[in-house]
């Protein structure tokens, strides 16, 4: 299994959906607090739709970039195969087994998120 731990922001519908998905695969889920340096997130996966990224998420992306930690942006409304291939290549190249996953609350209603999670589940995660 390539991913061991997924870090998520607390009290978020998006995080709840990702946590349920990860738990079904046996992936450990932990809360992420940017103020705590004890976390061991090795990379950041920023899931968005139509390249729309909220300010807080962009700031975390910038923080990871400044620390030279791998980041990946996935647009779930883009071509599914491209998103899956890019994610697989990112995981393999950077060997990120503990990743922070961020996404907007409105992604919960986007059926493409479920399609993306389903595809990476079968090809990469498990």
Distance CA 41, CA 100 (A): 6
Of 124, 121, 123, nearest in space to 23 by CA: 121
Q: Is the pLDDT of residue 124 over 80?
A: no
Can you give the residue range of the structural domain that contains 73?
5-125
Among the listed residues 67, 105, 13, the one whose alpha carbon sits nearest the alpha carbon of residue 59: 67
pLDDT-derived band at 11, boundaries 50, 70, 90: confident
Q: How many domains does one find in the chain?
A: 1
Mean pLDDT, residues 83-102 taken together: 92
What is the spatial distance between Cα 124 and Cα 105, in angstroms, rounded to a whole number? 24
- Please give the model's pTM, rounded to 2 decimal places: 0.90
15-59 pLDDT, tens digit per residue, is 999 999 999 989 999 998 767 665 688 999 999 998 888 888 889
Tell me: the pLDDT tens digits for 67-87?
999 999 999 999 999 999 999
What is the pLDDT confidence band of residue 107, given thresholds at 50, 70 and 90? very high
Say yes or no to pLDDT of 64 above 80.
yes
Q: Which domain CATH number covers 119?
A: 3.40.50.450
């Amino acid at each position: 299994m390539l991913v061991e731990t997924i870090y998520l922001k607390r009290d978020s519908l998006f995080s709840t959906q990702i946590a349920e998905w990860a738990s079904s695969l046996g992936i450990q889920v932990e809360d992420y607090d940017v103020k705590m340096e004890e976390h061991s997130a090795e990379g950041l996966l920023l899931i968005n739709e139509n390249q729309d990224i909220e300010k807080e998420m962009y700031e975390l992306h910038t923080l990871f970039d400044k620390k030279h930690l791998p980041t990946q942006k996935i647009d779930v409304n883009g071509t599914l195969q491209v998103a899956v291939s890019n994610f697989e290549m990112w995981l393999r190249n950077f060997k990120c087994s503990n990743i922070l996953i961020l996404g907007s609350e409105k992604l919960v209603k986007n059926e493409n998120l479920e399609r993306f999670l389903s595809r990476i589940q079968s090809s990469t995660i498990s």
